[in-house]
Structure 1
């Protein structure tokens, strides 16, 4: 099998996994985003007591469609992000391994994940900014609402310029690089430990046949928890920096550093973890779904390979 074919198989598996993840867990993403921007001062949103209350309130005031605001750019962004991430990650691992038989060290997995995260963040920041803007629209919003992705893009370019599409890039880049590096390094190391353990019991089977969907779910969820707890503040900073300016054109925060200073000043460390509960509820099982789909799609695309 050629290197190019293997890379595109990896990208396809990642893209399918990303779509499945978003479709299954999206309402919790809306709740997380709205919690993240609620700094306890002037806000366009009702006061949500908890995740369940937020879902109920959004449904009551905005209908079921309120729970799926920004769904299209979310699907697009997640599918493109995961596809590109696994593609860049797989290509980096191939480059570091020199050949298919050589095992990579933890440092190589870390470098591969960081490299992939940086490239994906640069490519997809405009998509995530539009998704965030659409998620934050509600009946109390005073500015003219975006009617969709194209209208949002056109309005942002007209009112704020193309540089606005890269608001939150700094924390987004730090989050993507560190989050992916932590998650994938943990996943690869836990996967290796699990394969080695099972291999001792089933020496006659190839390593790729030892793990099942439950194992992939456990590995994906465990690695995701570690990554979320460490990198979550970057996500809050990015979301707050990406908010739409007021109808007078005045941004709530001037830049990402302004977000950090204001959040620390008025809310303390807790402010950097606003919305972490729905985030965990969304992303831990979502990560499990992602890796189940990813690993099984790879098996379908290359059924004759026995070892990863």
Structure 2
């Protein structure tokens, strides 16, 4: 097996990278779940604490609820992080082309990280949407309602939103209010049932925890919903990638310069100082991930909250036809942030910083150890 991997370097590095991503994801996914629930559960008047979130998850789905969406998260991280590091290596290879030493400036690492983050966001967004919907469902109490009876009264449910159980009490209340109107339409109630946003019986779209499967999302919200939150995601990953790689490169250069002080005679170039130890590189990556998470957290909150909103494709079509403009200043409109969420943009900051730091350190450390073992 070792000889086979040595003959095929790409396959060996791919296996090492996938394994390191799985290790990092398994260590930090509970932190990501708590961070997500803190972000989407916050409001202008009420904000859940971490103890309340943990207790709610424990009551609803047990300790295993902290790992809701773990498989999707791991698959998304494999594709997203692979794209991030792959694009970064390609861009920096152009920077280093023609230079005597294998050197990348911090500013070049910043620009390469920004470009890599944009590609990562496109790859990662569908997986994050599905993961977030499962994480939200892990903290929501299920209601016992006759699903079959409601499907018989509203046949479009089985076609538009398979597996969804509406609120019968709210629907009956809506029907009662409509019954006082003059029925010019021969079947007003039946006609209203054809609209997806009336399926809950309250005139509002279903909750995100009820629309968590890919087929349910596509049938109700359309294919484009898989990339919901792409704009704040691109802003988040561009900031994260730029800060992460620039800080990491800064520490890498500093460690090589420090190492070169003990070499006699002094090396002619920084490459002659030798490689950095896996432990030092892992710790530097962990610190870089923590700083990058702090710098990009507001965009992460905006993405999580936007992905938690169910917008039926018919409503999205109406907004497009009416040329509906998003509120807020130009930065909020461009990055997809809601002005109503300005006071809660840093919810779960410390959890995300801890998650990114641990994940980055575990990712780099396990990858370097795996490569050293395999090759």
TM bracket (short chain): 0.7 to 0.9
Offset of residue 122 of structure 1: 1.4
Q: Which runs of 5+ in 1 are unaligned?
A: 304-308
Taking the TM superposition and a 5 Å limit, the aligned residue runs for 1:82-97 are: 82-97=81-96
**What's the CA shift for 1:219?**
0.5
When residues 203 and 72 of structure 1 are mapped into structure 2, their CA distance, relative to the original with a 3 A threshold, is farther
For residue 76 of structure 1, report the CA deviation from its aligned partner: 0.5
Q: Is residue 230 of structure 2 the alignment partner of residue 230 of structure 1? A: no
Deviations 1:23-56 (A, max 9, x none): 111111110000011232699xxx7422x55334
In the alignment, what sits opposite 1:284?
Answer: 357
**Match for residue 161 of structure 1?**
222
1:36 corresponds to which of 12, 16, 39 = 39
Q: Measure the CA separation in 2 of the matches of 1:201 and 1:9.
A: 34
**Matched residue, 2:277:** 211
Q: What is the TM-score when the length of structure 1 is the normalising length?
A: 0.80
Aligned CA distance change for structure 1 residues 6 and 107 (closer, same or farther; 3 Å): farther
Give the whole-Å Cα distance in 2 for the aligned partners of 1:189 and 1:7.
28
Does the 8 Å CA contact 1:113/1:184 hold for their aligned counterparts? yes
Partner of 2:255: 194
Deviations 1:208-263 (A, max 9, x none): 544241x123202221222122110000000000014289x989xx9774742111
Give deviations 1:133-184, integer Å, cap 9, x for gaps: 11111333679399x9x97111111111011111110010011111111011
Q: 1:6-45 counterparts in 2 under 5 A?
A: 13-40=16-43
Deviation track 1:100-143 (CA, whole Å, cap 9, x = no partner) reads 84412122211221121111211221111111111111333679
8 Å Cα contact 2:263-2:273 kept in structure 1: no
8 Å CA contact retained: 2:117, 2:237: yes
Matches within 5 A, 1:104-123: 104-123=104-123
Runs of 5+ unmatched residues, structure 2: 1-7, 144-162, 166-206, 266-270, 317-324, 327-331
Structure 2 vs 1, CA of residues 92 and 141 (structure 1 numbering), >3 Å: closer, same or farther? farther
CA spacing shift, 1:286–1:169, aligned 2, 3 Å:
same
Task: Report SS of the residue matched to 1:136.
Answer: helix
Distance 2:117 2:39 in 1: 22
1:71 is matched with which residue? 70
Give 1 or 2 for the bigger CA radius of gyration. 2
Does structure 1 residue 239 correspond to structure 2 residue 239? no
Query: Alignment partner for residue 246 of structure 2, among 156, 167, 185?
Result: 185
Give the structure 2 partner of residue 261 of structure 1.
Answer: 339
Shift of 1:86: 1.4
Deviates more, 1:203-212 or 1:156-165: 203-212
